[in-house]
Amino acid sequence: MKTVALSLIMVLNVMQLTAADQSHGILETDQPAVDRQIEGGGGATLFQPPNQISLVVSDESCDACGSGAQAVADNFTVNTGGMGFDLQQILLWGVYFPGNVPQALDDFEVRVHLDNAGLPGTVVCSWIDLSPASRVDTGVNIGTWDEYLITLDLPGNCPLADIPYWIEIFNNTGPGTDDWAWESGNLDPVNGTAGGTYAAEAPGVSWIPDTIDFAIQLNGTLLPVELQSFSIE
């Protein structure tokens, strides 16, 4: 089990796309530091706890984006000594921007990609229309926004070998409502890979590299080892 004590930063960088050039705006706020402990489950292959530094909108119906949509993906590597990992559950942290009003029902889409020269490539697993198993207000505020912990229980198996991947996650909050924004996280030193990416559509196609690592935990089980039988004559 991984345990990380966080001393959270007082300066908030909120990432937004402008309609003109999709550049990133920065908002600074005087926010008191918060100390807390977040424990990663024993079955986690990626554990990047939230750090309150940045937010990036990841929403199929993004009112804050000039393109009308934006998808975000983060990269990771499975390290199981050759056994492989069956992804079954995702935990992620984020907010509802700009009005701090969550939807009655979330509608998440998750896509796991192979790595393609440092960007998301072929999709190997995907799920649509995911409603969270739970959505919990953590009691931590990021500026004027409440931080929510989202738990997504995946309805099917996703066996992953010991290679690099990207995980793309976006919500569909609907037009004229608050957008869902994914919070930044502390890089997992074992399974994490520095930096992320975003695209001005959802699902993402034309990916743009970024420097943000996102708050996420991937839970599952190690795949069973196949035993070979031998006959001795």
Cβ atoms within 10 A of the Cβ of 45, count?
24
Give pLDDT, residue 102: 95
Q: Confidence band (pLDDT; 50, 70, 90) for 222?
A: confident
Q: What is the pLDDT of residues 163-195, one digit of tens each?
A: 999 999 999 999 999 999 999 999 999 999 999
- In tens, the pLDDT along 2-52 reads 322 222 222 233 333 322 233 332 333 445 545 555 555 555 689 999 999
Nearest residue to 167 via CA among 92, 68, 63, 84:
92
Predicted pLDDT of residue 138: 95
> How far apart are the C-alpha atoms of 29 and 144, rounded to whole Å?
9
Amino acid, res. 142: I
Number of residues written out for the chain:
233
Q: Model-level pTM?
A: 0.82
In the block, residue with structure tokens 């839970």: 219
What's the rounded Cα separation, in Å, for the pair 55 and 187? Answer: 15
- What pLDDT, on a 0 to 100 scale, did the predictor assign at position 4? 26
Q: Are 109 and 60 in contact (CB under 8 A)?
A: yes
Neighbours of 119 (CB within 10 A): 17
How high does pLDDT run on average in the chain? Answer: 82
Specify the pLDDT at position 36: 55
Q: For 42-69, what is each residue's pLDDT tens digit?
A: 556 899 999 999 999 999 999 888 899 9
Question: Measuring CA to CA, which residue among 91, 165, 171 is closest to residue 130?
Answer: 171
How many angstroms separate the CA atoms of 144 and 79, rounded?
38
**Of all helices (H) and strands (E), which one includes residue 51?**
strand 50-57
Task: Average the pLDDT over 209-222 and give the result.
Answer: 93
Q: What is the pLDDT of residues 74-126, one digit of tens each?
A: 999 999 888 888 999 999 999 999 999 998 999 999 999 999 999 999 999 99
**Cross-strand bridge partners of residue 96:** 180
Determine what percent of the chain is predicted with pLDDT higher than 90: 67
SS3 of residue 197 by DSSP: strand
What sign for the dihedral angle of Cα 58, 162, 87, 148?
negative
Q: How far apart are CA 199 and CA 206, in angstroms?
A: 6
Per-residue pLDDT at 215 exceeds 60 = yes
pLDDT at 227: 38
Residue 155 · residue 87 · CB < 8 Å: no
Residue 36 · residue 167 · CB < 8 Å:
no
Burial class (CB in 10 A: 0-12, 13-18, 19+), 214: buried
Q: Is the pLDDT of residue 225 over 60?
A: no
